[in-house]
Amino acid sequence: MERAEFERLVADALDAIPDEFGAYLQNVAVVIEDEPSPAVLRQLGLDPRRDTLFGLYQGVPLAARPHDFAGRLPDRITIFAGPLLRRFRTPAELRHQVCSTVIHEIAHFFGLDDAHIRRLGY
Residue 36's SS3 state is coil
Which one is predicted more confidently, 82 or 59?
82
CATH placement of domain 3-119: 3.30.2010.20
Give residue-wise pLDDT tens across range 103-121. Answer: 999 999 888 888 888 888 7
Give residue-wise pLDDT tens across range 14-67. Answer: 999 988 888 888 889 999 999 999 999 999 999 988 899 999 999 887 776 767
Neighbours of 19 (CB within 10 A): 6
- The answer for residues whose C-beta is within 8 angstroms of residue 52's C-beta and 6 or more apart is 36, 46, 83, 87
pTM, full prediction: 0.88
